[in-house]
Copies of this chain bind each other. A is one copy, B any other.
């Protein structure tokens, strides 16, 4: 069978997947799913006859991983899963791709493998107490070191620049360049807004020191705390009011 379950493409990320037991390499732990990619199989027999490539919808899932885009998970009823609905299809909420690697599958050809973790405000439909989590023992409870959030405006500023406005280096990955949208004063709860004139495009190594005030910006866009000047383009004017707020409220105090 073809992997019709993966919707969405290389440019936009994968919108949704269907978990219905069609692929023998899939693993379902409820909140955590190991989902094999599409391609390389004979549509008439369903057997793997070639290596899967990181193209088309597999590239879409890689893009979702890189951009932190949510993937809607739909489970279809099938045997052998404690998390599948009894009949039909069920929408099970938003998951995020937290890992992607490739292995040689049972048929001897390469398959791509995506690990998705559920992060949804709604409780899981299978009930949190009904099923004992079957996570492998080595998956331990960990704390979150850092959460980098994404907004539509952040994606916009990343489209204007494909690189960091501080170091001007482009960070390439197999799914395209990587950068982060950084609010000048952070949005929550009532400081800077989520608007383009309050956003920078930064690499991870400059996002963090900017967030904690180790780097600030002068009115003329000269950088304080590191060398040089913020790179800007005419279609992305930065509101100097936010730069001043950031300097006044985030820079280290005497």
Residues on B with C-beta less than 8 A from A135 are: 189
From residue A88, how far is it (CB to closest CB) to chain B in Å?
27
With both beta carbons as reference points, the residue of chain B lying nearest to A185 in the complex is identified as B101
Q: A53-B253, A138-B194, A250-B101 are in contact. Are A144 and B188 (CB under 8 A)?
A: no
A187 CA to B136 CA in the complex, in Å?
10
With both beta carbons as reference points, the residue of chain B lying nearest to A145 in the complex is identified as B68
Residues on B with C-beta less than 8 A from A173 are: 208-209, 212, 214
Q: Mark A129-142, 1 if CB is under 8 A from B, else 0.
A: 00000011011101
Q: Mark A8-31, 1 if CB is under 8 A from B, else 0.
A: 000000000000000000010100
Contact of A119 among B69, B144, B186, B207 (CB under 8 A): B144
Tell me the residues in window 131-170 of chain A with beta carbons closer than 8 Å to chain B beta carbons.
135-136, 138-140, 142-151, 154
A174 CA to B212 CA in the complex, in Å?
7
Is the Cβ of B189 less than 8 Å from the Cβ of A144? no
Is the Cβ of A136 less than 8 Å from the Cβ of B208? no
Is the Cβ of A188 less than 8 Å from the Cβ of B115? yes
Among A79-87, A92-100, A229-237, the stretch that binds chain B is A92-100
From residue A100, how far is it (CB to closest CB) to chain B in Å?
7
Q: A101-B249, A253-B53 are in contact. Are A208 and B171 (CB under 8 A)?
A: yes
